[in-house]
Structure 1
Amino acid sequence: MIDHHIGMLSIAIAALINIWLSWRCGTARGKAKVMHGDGGDTALHRHMRAHANFVEYTPIALLLILVLDMNDQVGWLLALTATVFLVGRVLHAIGMQADKPSMPRMVGMLTTLVPYAIWIVWVVLVVFQVV
């Protein structure tokens, strides 16, 4: 049996982060007593955007991770970049609650975009059998 543990574990961790972000939205929605949309509530809006941002970046990232894992690429590097990405997604969500630009948000985006770019190049190199 082929082992795709890095991809599968990344998916599981991302699903847990997604549940956490969803829970934060639900809690903020309850506090604001808003059923639909954000009702003009700043905290709820920020939670919703953090969740949406996660959903905007994570599916493609997980596909890139899984494709690299399925092609037996360097496991430690794939695991490291997946960890950096997932930690970055949490930091970004936390940083989204600040009133002004914050270090967690900035670091979160940096640790999202750098692994993303690495994986894109890496997948292209695999496709052309460079690595």
Structure 2
Amino acid sequence: MHVALSALYAGLLGVLLLVLSYRVSMYRRRHGVSLGDGGHKDLQAAIRVQGNFVEYVPTALVLLVLVELSGWPPGVVHGLGAALFLGRVLHAQGLTANPGGKSFGRLTGILLTWLMLLAASILLVVGAVGHL
């Protein structure tokens, strides 16, 4: 029962969460805001990037671990983990670069995250149905 590949992506995503959290703290300190965003667009964007991360990543990591434990090939686990990590980096970059709306990074990042969630979910359902 090894989850070394999932552990790699969990570690990378943990570091990314710390970076995103630090950015929120930095903007809060810069603007003197301890709660909310104080109407500052850069702080608002940093809060949403961090919030979006914590909304998606825990479920995605559970799915990733289950895919690995289910015995799918390492390439599949790496593909899912890389899509999730890259998606979260692109989303953070895109929303930071354009806090007001659309950007390539934001769109591509959320699409990669959704595709990872969908693919992992399908793999788990197919695997579970195959064992019934």
TM-score with structure 1 setting the length: 0.93
- Distance in 2 between the 1:109 and 1:71 partners? 26
SS of match in other structure, 2:130: coil
Alignment of 1:114-129 (within 5 A): 114-129=115-130
Q: Which structure 2 segments of 5+ residues have no match?
A: none
Q: Which amino acid aligns with 1:102?
A: S
Count, aligned residues: 129
Deviates more, 1:45-54 or 1:74-83: 74-83
- Distance in 2 between the 1:110 and 1:53 partners? 13
SS of match in other structure, 1:96: helix
Fraction of identical pairs, as percent: 26
Q: Which amino acid aligns with 1:54?
A: F
Which residue is 1:107 aligned to?
A: 108
SS of match in other structure, 2:36: coil
- Distance in 2 between the 1:33 and 1:42 partners? 14
Correspondence 1:60 to 2:59: yes
Q: Which amino acid aligns with 1:104?
A: G
Q: Which amino acid aligns with 1:62?
A: L
Which residue is 2:36 aligned to?
A: 37
Deviations along 1:86-124, one digit per CA (max 9) or x if unpaired, are: 111011011112033111101101111111100111110
- Distance in 2 between the 1:100 and 1:7 partners? 32
Q: How far does residue 72 in structure 1 lie from its aligned partner after superposition?
A: 1.5
Q: Which amino acid aligns with 2:48?
A: R
- Distance in 2 between the 1:100 and 1:48 partners? 15
TM-score with structure 2 setting the length: 0.92
Which residue is 1:83 aligned to?
A: 82
